Amino acid sequence: MDSRTAICPTWLANHFQNSGGSIPFSKYMNIVLNDPENGFYSKGKVSISKGGDFVTSPSLGNDFASLLAKQLASWLTKLLTQNPSLSRVSLVEFGAGEGDLLLDLLTELDSTYPELIPKLEVILVEINQSMIERQKNKLSTLAIEIPICWKSYEQLAKSPIIGVAVAHEVLDALPVERLAYSKGDIFRMAISLVNDSNTQYLRYSKMPINDDLLSSINQVTNDSKFDFPPPGLEDGWSTEWHISIEEWVQQVSASIDSGYVLVIDYALEAKRYYAKSRKTGTIISYRNQLATHDVLYQPGLRDITAHICLETLYFYSKKNRLNLIGQVKQGQALLALGLAQKIQSLRFYSNKNLSIALERREALLRLVDPTCLGEFRWIAFFKDFNNNSSKPISEKLLSSEFLEEPID
Ligand SMILES: C[S@@+](CC[C@H](N)C(=O)[O-])C[C@H]1O[C@@H](n2cnc3c(N)ncnc32)[C@H](O)[C@@H]1O
């Protein structure tokens, strides 16, 4: 287990006051990302861009949104055809960050699928107020007449939507538990506050596995039939358990009467996630494009992210009536939606605009690069409120362009 120590700022030390000096890792991760005044996202200092803390696919330019728009337009059209009396369908984005993806998606929908715009409403669900402010600023530049609002999960659950919901790089920001192996046992990693020569430090400690965590591990591993912990581990092996996914999936399912959910994120199958060779899990911290495994370093000033375990996501989705449509790596999804044609079309740029063409080409290649963003997973679900489980959902509703063979 990582035993490095890190200086603890006063605002964070205050969170340890009523906890006997130790908190579980999941609570630490939630505080350093989302504490209303000092969390990395709630402070609104995060910069998602090439020159910022980290890049995401939408921050590389608008080609990502323009390819994704094709899939979203197809799903929205299916829902409108299926429900002809419907006056509007909803496009929901969870955790929109700086709002780039939505801005580019709406611009693309307006130019390529204008017939959808009068039938569309847009809803953003974001837990950090300062990110909401940034999203409002970004979307105020949109020159399209379209209803846009921000809602909490609770508000959305009171009037569930028919539509399409997207969660791009949100699940990797949900707080995880860290588990470590030592002397034949798995234990829960905690963070303790220690005082040394008038300086406060953070240090890893141990906590027993509580009932919620144990029940989640048992349910997911029994259902998906994988060994946890895997055999043959060496002392010091650590990993993550996605304790927050259950609540997130419940909230999402409660928000939707009928429609599609697309999760795009770092994800691995359980057998790779929990391989004995993956000795320190997937958790990582970022700032200024620099990554470190030391997630106690500079709390509140860095992003912390962990991959999703696909089986855990599938288990809770099934439990909450989100039917898996399918999943592929981003590279394959974008090729199926026409990325190769976009690259070919760059030939028609004039010499004067060569640098723009080269920049777009580089961004397009990064989106499918298997060592980088191309490894992301696109995972789609469908929920049909009216459907009782004995009746199969029509193939037409489930068919999705991003899962098809790439276009030549
Ligand atoms: C890594 S950023 C991704 C931003 C954006 N989707 C992108 O790809 O550029 C995570 C975003 O999700 C928000 N967030 C974190 N937890 C959330 C939750 N449970 N529900 C909704 N948004 C959340 C953060 O405040 C932040 O805006």
Are 170 and 238 a contacting pair, CB within 8 Å? Answer: no
| Distance, CA of 126 to CA of 124 (rounded, Å) | 6
The pLDDT tens digits along the chain (408 residues) read 444 558 999 999 999 987 889 999 999 999 999 999 999 988 767 777 777 777 788 888 899 999 999 999 999 999 999 999 999 999 999 999 999 999 999 999 999 999 999 999 999 999 999 999 999 999 999 999 999 999 999 999 999 999 999 999 999 999 999 999 999 999 999 999 998 888 899 999 999 999 999 999 999 999 999 999 999 999 999 999 999 999 999 999 999 999 999 999 999 999 999 999 999 999 999 887 778 889 999 999 989 999 999 999 999 999 999 999 999 999 999 999 999 898 888 777 777 678 888 888 888 898 888 888 888 999 999 998 665 555 667 788 888 999 998 866
Are 202 and 192 a contacting pair, CB within 8 Å? Answer: yes
Three-class SS state of 89 = strand
* Cα-to-centroid distance, 368 and ligand 1 (Å): 22
| Distance, CA of 279 to CA of 233 (rounded, Å) | 9
Three-class SS state of 197 = coil
Q: Is the CB of 320 under 6 A from ligand 1?
A: no
Total domains in the fold of the chain: 1
CATH number at 85 reads: 3.40.50.12710
Quick one: which atom of ligand 1 is closest to the CA of 93? 6
Identify whether 84 is preceded by a cis peptide bond (ω within 30 of 0). no
Quick one: which atom of ligand 1 is closest to the CA of 153? 20
Residue 8 lies in a domain: no
Q: What is the 3-state secondary structure (H, E, C) of 368-401?
A: HCCCCHHHCEEEEEEEECCCCCCCCCCHHHHCCH
* Cα-to-centroid distance, 225 and ligand 1 (Å): 31
How high is the pLDDT of residue 3? Answer: 44
How high is the pLDDT of residue 34? Answer: 95
CA-nearest residue for atom 4, ligand 1, is 97
* Cα-to-centroid distance, 152 and ligand 1 (Å): 13
How high is the pLDDT of residue 161? Answer: 96
| Distance, CA of 146 to CA of 1 (rounded, Å) | 51
How high is the pLDDT of residue 272? Answer: 96
Residue 35 lies in a domain: no
Residue 224 lies in a domain: no
Give the pairing of strands 267-268 and 323-329: unpaired
* Cα-to-centroid distance, 94 and ligand 1 (Å): 7
* Cα-to-centroid distance, 211 and ligand 1 (Å): 28
Domain, as residue range, for 364: 57-174+245-282+299-403
For every residue of 238-275, DSSP letters joined together read EEEE-TTHHHHHHHHHHHEEEEEEEEEE-EE-HHHHT-
Tell me the whole-structure pTM to 2 decimals: 0.94
Q: Is the CB of 92 under 6 A from ligand 1?
A: no
Question: Residue 308: what are its φ and ψ, rounded to 5°?
Answer: -95, 145
CA-nearest residue for atom 14, ligand 1, is 95
Q: Is the CB of 67 under 6 A from ligand 1?
A: no
Residue 251 lies in a domain: yes
Q: Is the CB of 94 under 6 A from ligand 1?
A: yes
Q: Is the CB of 43 under 6 A from ligand 1?
A: no
Residue 73 lies in a domain: yes
Q: Is the CB of 170 under 6 A from ligand 1?
A: yes
Q: Is the CB of 229 under 6 A from ligand 1?
A: no
Q: What angle do CA 303, 306, 312 make, to 5 degrees?
A: 145
Residue 372 lies in a domain: yes
How high is the pLDDT of residue 407? Answer: 64
Are 68 and 100 a contacting pair, CB within 8 Å? Answer: no
Mutate to test the pocket of ligand 1, among 33, 170, 378 (most ligand atoms within 8 A of CB): 170
CA distances from 64 to 59, 104, 328 (A): 9, 9, 16
CA distances from 127 to 21, 288, 289 (A): 27, 23, 24
* Cα-to-centroid distance, 207 and ligand 1 (Å): 28
Residue 293 lies in a domain: no
Are 153 and 126 a contacting pair, CB within 8 Å? Answer: no
CA-nearest residue for atom 2, ligand 1, is 97
